[in-house]
Structure 1
Amino acid sequence: MKLLDLWAESLAGMLARPMRSALTTLGTVLGITTLVVTLGIAATAGNQIVGRFDELLATSITVEVPRGGHNPLVTWGAAKELRGLRGVTSATALAQSDDSSNLVVTANNLLDPTRVAGQTLAVVAATPDLPETTRGRMVAGRFYDAGHVARHDRVVVLGEQAAEMLGITSLEHSPAVFIKDRAYTVIGIVGGLRREQILSSAVLVPPGLGPDFGLKDVTRVLVATQLGAAELIARQAPLALSPDRSGELQVIAPPSPKRARDGAQDDVNGLFLVLGLVSLVVGAVGIANVTLVTVMERVSEIGLRRALGAARRHIAAQFLLESSLIGLTGGVIGASLGMVAVVAVAAVRQWTPVLDVRLALVAPVAGALVGLLAGLYPALRAARMEPVDALR
């Protein structure tokens, strides 16, 4: 039997019952579409997640500074010098200790039995670059500057949550807070500290006032970098902060964006790939069922072909080719619909679609393979029929 004749017979057999063939193909279409959408959305979502991750975490570095005894490892002015490194946009030195983390802070020094006298808050000494480094925003007033630091002005800035706890909502009358029975003027309220949420409930003081609370030495340095420079700055920062004792500093750098992208994509793939495989299996079962029914309906045709000289392999090849054509058709349609769905979802979400061109080639082949495997048993059953039994 010539290959061209086999192709023509298989195509005629598939088109003889167009509605049945269409419904059978639908199962493969759904399976392939789900697979393509899964892989496309996984790649697109992974890229988007990394993009959002880059906006904040991938540009933030923290340098932990251990206690250096009489000679501090990092001076208050060293953080400012980090701006000289290419890729550093801002740097802030902080000082905090266990003793300064639980201090009683009151909004007035009057004893009012109807109100809570004070709140236990953390007091943190920080350089004036803190809002820029942590991407914070001033809710009210202003942050202290180099002038306040140089003059040792007794001013503080409250975190947004700390101000709410103390009942300070306005700076119109220059409110003051009392710490260790000493008054400090509140000149600002800072909020939006996404990177350092703990500072939202803290009292921030200039470095010059740090010794009043046991905050003489720097314990931490926050560094904000340009996108893509974090890995390099993480290696250079210890040398810039403490050239002689850089090995004693601990750098906390963000993980690689590539690992984050791969992890996000793997998570989404693992979550939805099962759904695509189940749909594909359902499509394969549908093809096998319909092909088997077709074999039973065409018993007399099979017997006549065998009586006219068709070999078993010819009968098997005809039904295998028919089921493969159904799977191939479903693969082509499913791949097309999947690509369109990925682009549509990305457009609605205003994402950048990430599509692998290889999917357009692999998906139809996968559909044809599913059809081939699904039609294997019905084709073998048709090939085993004896001409006399089939004609009878």
Structure 2
Amino acid sequence: MWRDLWDEALAGVLARPGRTALTALGTVLGTATLVITTGLADTAGAQIVSRFDELAATTVTVVPTPEDGPQAKESPIPWDAPARLIRLNGVESAATMTTLRLPDVKITATTVVDPLAAKGTAAAVVAGSPELAAAVEGRVIGRFFDTGHNGRGDRVAVVGRNLANSLHLADLRQRPAIFVGSQSFTVIGVLVDARRSAGLLDAMILPEGTARKVFGLKAPESVVIDTAVGAAALIASQAPIALAPQKPELLTAERPAEPTTTKAKVAEDVRALFVLLGVISLVVGGVGIANTTLVSVLERIGEIGLRRSLGGTRFSVASLFILESSMIGLIGGILGSSAGILAVVLVGAVKQWTPVLNIWITPAAVLVGAVVGLLAGLYPSLRAAKIEPIAALRVQA
């Protein structure tokens, strides 16, 4: 019985190939959307994760451990901190960085003054080691100060892009000078980008040797470390020992928390949004299948009446139309999942991404297409099962 129904249903589907193709189109689009959105969400998520990890999860900052007492002691970070840390396996670059506090400046604390302007511009003054530009992944127009400037305590400075714009520093070839209180410094470069420390774009950066000579800086305030991917946790545990081997507890290594939960939530939200679009497409496809199957029932009333008069049961008639609609949904699921996989691969090739697709998505999409077809055929099949032989003869007459 079931084999006969299967053969008849297949013959019914293939009897009108054009109608079948148009009917299956909605299911094709729906399942293709599900596969594409799921695949692209996973693929794009993997790219986002890798880029996030490269920047955020590879930064370690070492600072003095907060003191319990009312007065903090001198920072235990040594001046040769970059040289000590670069020897650790997994450290790409390291630099010291200190925000200067200048209470003796008469204008305002840490105020940078443009001598051509009527008023000064407030900005942070930062002292750093020559490795600072590399440690924060900075990009400089002009040049960054080097070990020579640092060792001699030269009065040179690099200003952040935003500060340079507010001071109207355009041409470095004219060797512009800016003032911190009454102290003048020659600008040798403009920091136009700092991926790991965007605050430096608003600051004036001096060599730490100059800060020691001019402002009496006693010790570095912090160390910024750029690590290899996956080495942040190890470096965070080793850095205090390398910098203060006698009392590593005086230093605290800070690193970003693992963004596993956040990344999973973002991927989940993106996937949920696009899966909703796929479900809507599937609903539209299911309505199309139901409509076409119902039209087929009305067109084949005579055939249904003949089946019933020859002994066909209501169940067999209903099963025939359910099988036909399920076949259309199955065909749409196969074509849609294939198109979706192809689209994910093509997008990956164009964007130079590695395509990521869960192994279960293809059979799941095919199954979803078949289920949509089955559900869409329920009502038309019930209508067909209720047709009596005498009613069919009247219609044919």
* Length-normalised TM-score, structure 1: 0.88
Report how far residue 14 of structure 1 moved: 1.7
* Matching residue of 2:149: 148
1:110-148 deviation digits (Å, cap 9, x = unpaired):
xx6xx43432221111111101111113311x3223333
Q: Assess if the C-alpha contact under 8 Å between 2:321 and 2:377 holds in 1.
A: yes
Selected match of 1:241 from 240, 243, 250: 243
Q: What residue identity is the alignment partner of 1:322?
A: E
Q: Assess if the C-alpha contact under 8 Å between 1:47 and 1:261 holds in 2.
A: no
* Matching residue of 1:390: 392
* Matching residue of 1:104: 111
CA distance in 1, matches of 2:277, 2:41: 13
Q: Assess if the C-alpha contact under 8 Å between 1:163 and 1:189 holds in 2.
A: yes
> 3-state SS of the aligned residue for 2:204?
strand
Report how far residue 268 of structure 1 moved: 2.0
27-36 vs 337-346, greater mean Cα deviation: 337-346
Q: What residue identity is the alignment partner of 2:309?
A: A
CA distance in 2, matches of 1:74, 1:360: 56
CA distance in 1, matches of 2:346, 2:196: 34
> 3-state SS of the aligned residue for 2:225?
strand
Alignment of 1:12 onto 2:19: no
5+ residue gaps, structure 2? none
Given the superposition, is the C-alpha separation of residues 90 and 261 from structure 1 closer, same or farther in structure 2, using an over 3 Å criterion?
same
CA distance in 2, matches of 1:218, 1:369: 67
Q: Assess if the C-alpha contact under 8 Å between 2:156 and 2:185 holds in 1.
A: yes
Given the superposition, is the C-alpha separation of residues 102 and 344 from structure 1 closer, same or farther in structure 2, using an over 3 Å criterion?
farther
315-324 vs 169-178, greater mean Cα deviation: 169-178
Q: Assess if the C-alpha contact under 8 Å between 1:97 and 1:214 holds in 2.
A: no
> 3-state SS of the aligned residue for 2:171?
coil
Q: Assess if the C-alpha contact under 8 Å between 1:66 and 1:249 holds in 2.
A: yes
Q: Provide the aligned C-alpha RMSD in A.
A: 2.6
Between the two proteins, the alignment pairs up a number of residues equal to 385
Given the superposition, is the C-alpha separation of residues 144 and 301 from structure 1 closer, same or farther in structure 2, using an over 3 Å criterion?
same
Given the superposition, is the C-alpha separation of residues 139 and 373 from structure 1 closer, same or farther in structure 2, using an over 3 Å criterion?
same
CA distance in 1, matches of 2:59, 2:307: 75
* Matching residue of 2:199: 198
Task: Summarize the alignment of residues 168-183 of structure 1 with structure 2, pairs less than 5 Å apart.
Answer: 168-183=169-184
Alignment of 1:220 onto 2:222: yes
Q: What residue identity is the alignment partner of 1:137?
A: R
Percent of residue pairs identical: 49
> 3-state SS of the aligned residue for 1:22?
helix
CA distance in 1, matches of 2:113, 2:74: 34
CA distance in 1, matches of 2:325, 2:156: 81
CA distance in 2, matches of 1:326, 1:201: 63
Given the superposition, is the C-alpha separation of residues 312 and 122 from structure 1 closer, same or farther in structure 2, using an over 3 Å criterion?
same
Q: Assess if the C-alpha contact under 8 Å between 1:92 and 1:127 holds in 2.
A: yes
Selected match of 2:308 from 300, 306, 323: 306
Task: Summarize the alignment of residues 292-303 of structure 1 with structure 2, pairs less than 5 Å apart.
Answer: 292-303=294-305
CA distance in 2, matches of 1:67, 1:127: 23
177-186 vs 6-15, greater mean Cα deviation: 177-186
Selected match of 1:231 from 233, 243, 246: 233
1:143-190 deviation digits (Å, cap 9, x = unpaired):
223333333333322223323333333343543322221223333333
CA distance in 1, matches of 2:66, 2:99: 11
CA distance in 2, matches of 1:329, 1:341: 18
> 3-state SS of the aligned residue for 1:84?
coil
5+ residue gaps, structure 1? none
> 3-state SS of the aligned residue for 2:223?
strand
1:73-115 deviation digits (Å, cap 9, x = unpaired):
323323431112210011111111565795232344xxx6xx4
Q: Assess if the C-alpha contact under 8 Å between 1:156 and 1:203 holds in 2.
A: yes
CA distance in 2, matches of 1:65, 1:164: 34
* Matching residue of 1:344: 346
33-42 vs 67-76, greater mean Cα deviation: 67-76
* Matching residue of 2:24: 25
> 3-state SS of the aligned residue for 1:91?
strand
